[in-house]
Amino acid sequence: MNKIIKSIPNTLTCISLFFGCLSILCSMQGDFLYAMVCILIGSVFDFSDGFAARALKATSSIGKELDSLADQVSFGVAPGFAMYFWMRGNVICSCDILPYIAFLVPAFSALRLAKFNIDERQTSSFIGLPTPANAIFLSSLVATADILIKEGIHNWFTDLCCNPIVMMIIVIAMSLLLVAEFPMFSLKFKHFGWSGNEKKFILILFAVLALVIFSFLEIPFAAAFSTILFYIAVCAVDFFTNRQH
């Protein structure tokens, strides 16, 4: 029984990896909505494996390594494939090699994960954008644009997502943010009081409001990348405010 309990965190990690593989398959088939949903589900299991490991006191060296390998697939390779197939099918550009820039995402995600494993500063917060947040941002961005285009809606947002320069900038910027010396708060709660968790509760409130608003507009998944943008903005304001002091 003890061995079964100890295997629960690693099982959750493998489930996250499974959904990462499904996301890659969906992107290859042009199903960007399902690709994004798989990444979202994978992120839930990724969050729960660490929680389970701490709760069951089942942390291990193999669990740490397995988690990084699973994260590289689910939050590195999967969003990279989503961006590649989106750009190949929807971004018109005279440069045929442009879509391959999407593979900067898995490359920088690997650097991010390797850095995280040896950086003792990141025990309670992050230095650089976490790979799940980056994966959710990129996949939900193209999924929302794909939904709008398939419904025959063409607006400034879809134009941006089909613009080669804009997409190139997004891929490069998000990739660099993964490894930037940029402090970002963690969403892990040590307690549920307001003090010390102000930014986390504000982010959750924003996510709920964004979901309500975008659900009313019939594009609920736009709440995902909007929330990640808000998360980055809050961290940026906090960073520059602290530097001035």
Please give the pLDDT value at position 149. 95
User: What pLDDT band is residue 2 in, cutting at 50, 70 and 90?
Assistant: low
Domain positions in the chain: 2-184
Please give the pLDDT value at position 222. 93
pLDDT in tens, 98-130: 999 999 999 999 999 998 888 777 666 788 899
pLDDT in tens, 56-85: 776 777 878 899 999 999 999 999 999 999
Please give the pLDDT value at position 217. 86
Residues 147 and 223 sit within 8 Å (Cβ to Cβ): no
CA distance 25 to 77: 11
Return the sign of the alpha-carbon dihedral for residues 242, 200, 76, 99: negative
User: What pLDDT band is residue 200 in, cutting at 50, 70 and 90?
Assistant: confident
Higher pLDDT, 126 or 139: 139
Please give the pLDDT value at position 124. 66
pLDDT in tens, 217-237: 888 989 999 999 999 999 998
- pLDDT more than 90, % of the chain: 65
pLDDT above 60 for 1: no
Q: Model's pTM, two decimal places?
A: 0.92
User: What pLDDT band is residue 193 in, cutting at 50, 70 and 90?
Assistant: low
Q: Evaluate whether the domain defined by 2-184 bears CATH number 1.20.120.1760.
A: yes
3-state per-residue secondary structure call for 164-197: HHHHHHHHHHHHHHHHCCCEEECCCCCCCCCCCC
Higher pLDDT, 245 or 155: 155
pLDDT above 80 for 14: yes
Taking alpha carbons only, the member of 29, 32, 43 closest to residue 73 is 43
